[in-house]
Amino acid sequence: MNIARMKKDSSNIEQLDRASAQWLQRYVSDARTGSPANPAGVGVEILAIAESASRVIVEVDARCLAVEHVSAIEEILCDRLAARLLRPSFSLTQGTQAYVHCILDSASTGFEQSTLTDIEESIHRVVSGWSGEFATLVSGRNVPISLREHYSQVLPEEYRHEVSPVRAIEDVLRVESLGNGSVDVVLDVANSGAHVLSLYVLGRSIPLSAVLPVLRDLGTDVVDEKHYPVERVDGSQAWIYRFTLTSASARNHAPSSPSLAPRFAEAFLSMWDEAVESDGLGALIVGSELDVRQIAALRAYSHYLRQSGLPYSLARIESVLREHSKIATALIELFEVRHDPAFDAEARSLRAGLLTERIVGSINDVAELDADRILRALLSLIDNTLRTNYFYRDAGVSDPFLALKFDSRIIDVLPYPRPHFEIFVDSPRFEGVHLRFGGAARGGLRWSDRREDFRTEVLGLAKAQSAKNAVIVPVGAKGGFVVKESSARRSGDSPNNEGCDCYRMFVTALLRLTDNVDSVTTAVVPAPGIVRHDGDDYYLVVAPDKGTARFSDLANAVAVQRNFWLGDAFASGGSVGYDHKEMGITARGAWTSVRRHFLERNVDVDRDDFTAVGIGDMSGDVFGNGMLLSRHLRLVAAFDHRHIFLDPNPDPSVSYEERSRLFHLQRSSWADYDRALISTGGGVFDRSAKSIPLTEEVRSVLGISAQIDTLTPAALISRVLTADVDLLWNGGIGTYVKAADESHLQVGDKANDLVRVDSNQLRCSVIGEGGNLGLTQRARIDFSLRGGHVNTDALDNSAGVDCSDHEVNIKILLDSVVKRGELSEDERNSMLASMTDDVANLVLANNRAQNDLLATARAEAIRMADVHQRQIDKLERDFALDRELEFLPSDDEIALRLENHARGLTSPELATLSAHVKLSLKADLLRHDLIEDEHFAGALVEYFPPLLRERFGGHIISHPLAREIVATVIANRVVGNGGLSYVFRLADESGVDVGDAVRAFEVVRAVFGLESIWQRIRGGEITVHVADQLIVESRRLLDRAARWFLSNRPQPLDIASEIARFGKLVSTLSPHVPGWMQEYDRANVAVRSAPAVEAGVDRDVVDEVYGLLDLYGLLDVVEIVVATDQDPRLVGELYFMVKDRLEINRFLMDVSGLDSHDRWDSLVRLTLRDELYESVRLVTLDVLSVSSSCGAVPDASAATRLRSWEERNSAIIGRARYTLSDAHAGRGGNLATLSVAARRIRSLASTVQTVGEPL
Cα atoms in the 13 Å half-sphere on the side-chain side of 83 = 25
Catalytic residue among 478, 484, 581, 738: 478
Q: Is the four-CA dihedral 968, 974, 976, 980 of positive or negative sign? A: negative
Name the strand (E) or helix (H) holding 195. strand 195-202
Distance CA 54, CA 48 (A): 4
Convert 1171-1192 into a string of H (helix), E (strand) and C (coil). HHHHHHHHHHHHHHHHHHHCCC
Residues 1135 and 1113: beta-carbon distance below 8 Å: yes
Angle at 532 between CA 521 and CA 396, to 5 degrees: 90
Contacts of 402 (CB under 8 A, 6+ apart): 296, 297, 300, 388, 389, 390, 425, 426, 427
Beta bridge partners of 951: none
* Cβ proximity of 1185 and 1177 under 8 Å: no
| Pairing verdict, β 195-202 and 220-231 | unpaired
Q: How many CA atoms lie within 13 A of 219 on its CB side?
A: 23
Strands in 70-171 per DSSP E = 85-94, 97-104
Backbone angles phi, psi at 102, to 5 degrees: -130, 145
Question: What is each CA distance from 489 to 130, 350, 484, 485, 685, in whole angstroms?
Answer: 45, 46, 9, 6, 33
Backbone torsions φ then ψ of 160, nearest 5 degrees: -60, -35
User: Rounded CA gap, 819 and 812, in Å?
Assistant: 11
For 633, the 3-state DSSP assignment is strand
241 has which bridge partners? 199, 227
Q: Find the helix or strand (DSSP H, E) in which 1207 lies.
A: helix 1198-1208
Max Cα distance, the chain (Å): 175
3-class secondary structure per residue, 578-605: CCHHHHCHHHHHHHHHHHHHHHHCCCCC
> Which residue type occupies 687?
R
With b for 16 or more beta-carbon neighbours within 10 A and e for fewer, the 817-852 pattern comes to bbeeeebeeeebbebbeebbebbbebbbebbbbbbb
478 has catalytic annotation? yes
Strands 195-202 and 237-247: antiparallel
* Helices 962-978 and 982-990: angle between axes, nearest 10 degrees: 80
The three-state secondary structure class of 103 is strand
Residues with a known catalytic role: 478
